[in-house]
Structure 1
Amino acid sequence: MSFLNHNGRTICYRLLGDSEKPLLVLAHPLGMTQGVWDDMLPALLGKFRVLAWDLPGHGASSAWPEGAGKITPDDLAQEALTLAQVAGAKAFHFTGTSIGGVIGQQLVSEYSDNLISATLTNTGAIIGTVEAWNLRASNVRGKGLAAMAGEIVPRWFGPAACKEQTALLDGWKVIMGRGDDHSYALLCEMLGKADFREKLKDRNVPILLLGGSEDAATPPESLKALAQFSHSPDPLILEGIGHVPSIECPALLADLLLKHLG
């Protein structure tokens, strides 16, 4: 792992692979860490230099400072751009899941010159409702992530994974419970406000959209709507998969990604 001081915070990131290869930047879902990509790295590093990082208050990245105001999609996009500069890349491929896909939409809409391609999985131009996200933010502030992880984590995975891989769920409950409540709540509020429906029409970045048939948070309809808003091909929907395909089917996701970028 490596660390970077950025706008008064410490960002934890990993930069792996040959510097002569094109850069692929990976953004993880809310409540998780850059570890969601680990099982894909052997396949990806054959073709790319890979950069992944932990979002504010997640993993080993420091929390969003008290009194620093709200978190915006542009704040997170700036983290990606800054890290790409550290890697020496003027332009890069981007892959993001869930809130990572929101970061990708911000990059597509405002920083397309920095992108070679964008792969957005299990996300949407809007995700959920303002009311639902504000309620979760309030609950996190009141109860804490450790108390809520048991309720939230099972929603990330499809029925087969929930039934057959109980240790997987238990492990991610531990990881989520160690996150920073304040940062997580701010990110919830950000997601409630994020709306890219009118921001992606004139994009000039090739976009691949993927989702899971069993994803309750961002169901296939969310990806289909995003395809229309961004004038992208219809999304690929992975049968039996939930919200985090990089964990449930890493080999398949890596294969689809390499074919798209190859």
Structure 2
Amino acid sequence: MAELSPLDAELLAQDLPALTQADVASTVFSGQRGKMEYRAAGDPNKPVALMLHGLGSSSAGYRAQFAGLSRDFRVIAWNAPGFGDSSQIQGQDAGIEDYVNALEGLLRALGIRRLAVLVGSSWGSVVALAFARRYPALIGSLVLSAPNVARGHITGEARDAELNAWLGMADVDVLVSRAAIANRLLTPDTPAQVRQHVERLRDGMTTDGWRQAIRSLFTAYTPDIIPEVRCPIAILSGTLDQVAPYRDHAERLLAAAPWSTSQLFEDYGHILKLEAPSKFNAVVREIAA
């Protein structure tokens, strides 16, 4: 990727908004109530842009969107159930629809009746699509960044073997080099300022929350969901994404929903919101308009 532009460097240098907790009523939580962590920036009277993070991340991954979009939007990013200090979904297993239920509960708790745009990155794109299908009246538009088709189409022994392999690696207490994680998510020539932020994305993860989110991936297949979503959709893909390569993920979604728009980020990897923040923010503004 190219060197950061002065605007991108400025966006990445801004501080994150503080974490806030909301008391959320939802059947997915023990006792039907839970605490949901989120960050927010911008005028509460502005249109709402809501951000959903990926499996190995948290609301902190949207640093450049808080900085760059909060003049035009009320920008909100959650810590999904089981991430950070957000309450975990009750029981061991969790499906994508459980996260949809939790997200709807968060919107009710915050008094939000409609989203100008819902942004989902990686695993967050799966939650975003399922939410848009269930609650079409609440969604103005969708941005799916480094989208994932999920694993719900795999069955039988193949499903069990793959799920168990994923779960076997999901433990925050296992020491893994931050640099090695960033190397998989980014390109070799990613600027140090981006890499530093990406190396800290796992700080909001918990083992139980991580494993629940992994299980949810095996309960949905997004090429079956996206044809039922009729709001404007922008699909963003890095041409050097090693985690969700275009051909295996975005291309399948575009084939299932050819009315969607495709934005290729040449020579970028999996974390487009931090790798190319001003371009990412421009897509959000355009589709929300």
Shared fold by TM > 0.5? yes
CA contact (8 A) 2:132 2:229 kept: yes
- After superposition, the Cα gap between the structure-2 partners of 1:24 and 1:174, relative to the gap in structure 1 and judged at 3 Å, is closer
Pick from 16, 19, 35 the counterpart of residue 41 of structure 2. Answer: 16
Q: 2:127 matched to 1:109?
A: no
Alpha-carbon distance in structure 2 between the residues aligned to 1:145 and 1:10: 27
- Inter-CA distance 239–110: structure 2 relative to 1 (3 Å threshold): same
Is the Cα contact below 8 Å between 2:123 and 2:148 reproduced in 1? no
TM-score norm. by structure 2 comes to 0.79
C-alpha change, 1:175 and 1:260, in structure 2 (3 Å) is: closer
CA shift for structure 1 position 47: 1.3
2:184 is matched with which residue?
Answer: 155
- Letter aligned with residue 233 of structure 1: S
Equivalent residue pairs, number: 256
Secondary structure, counterpart of 2:37 in structure 1: strand
2:80 pairs, out of 52, 55, 71, with 55
1:157-236 maps to which residues of 2 (within 5 A)?
157-161=186-190, 164-165=191-192, 169=195, 172-176=198-202, 179-221=205-247, 222-236=249-263
Taking the TM superposition and a 5 Å limit, the aligned residue runs for 1:77-88 are 77-88=100-111
Q: Given the superposition, is the C-alpha separation of residues 234 and 14 from structure 1 closer, same or farther in structure 2, using an over 3 Å criterion?
A: closer
Distance in 2, matches of 1:61 and 1:144, equals 19
Structure 1: gaps spanning 5 or more residues? none
Does the 8 A contact of 1:134 with 1:189 survive in 2? Answer: no
Alignment partner of 2:103: what SS? Answer: helix
TM-score when scaled to structure 1?
0.86
Q: What is the deviation of 1:174? A: 4.9
Residues 1:62 and 1:86: Cα distance change in structure 2 (over 3 Å): closer
AA matched with 2:93? K
The one-letter code of the counterpart of 1:57 is G
Query: CA–CA distance in 1 between the matches of 2:74 and 2:200?
Result: 30
What is aligned with 2:6?
A: none
* Greater mean deviation of Cα atoms: 38-47 or 194-203: 194-203
The reply on whether 1:5 has 2:5 as its aligned counterpart is no
SS in 1 for 2:183: helix
Identical aligned residues as a percent: 19
* CA displacement at 1:234 relative to structure 2: 4.3
Match of 1:29 in 2: 54
Contact 1:133–1:191, Cα closer than 8 Å, also in 2: no
Distance 2:269 2:239 in 1: 7
Which whole-Å CA distance do the structure 1 matches of 2:228 and 2:204 have between them? Answer: 40
Aligned to 1:260: 287
Deviations 1:194-237 (A, max 9, x none): 21222332322111111111111111121121012133334211
Structure 1 residue 243 displacement after superposition: 0.8
1:99-141 deviations in Å (ceiling 9; x for gaps): 1100111012221121111111101333697444431212325
Deviations 1:123-160 (A, max 9, x none): 1333697444431212325x845447564442111222
CA distance in 2, matches of 1:184, 1:101: 16
Letter in 1 for 2:213: L
CA shift for structure 1 position 245: 0.7
Amino acid at match of 1:5: D
For 1:217, what is the secondary structure of its paired residue? coil
Alpha-carbon distance between aligned partners in 2 of 1:135 and 1:177, rounded to the nearest angstrom: 22
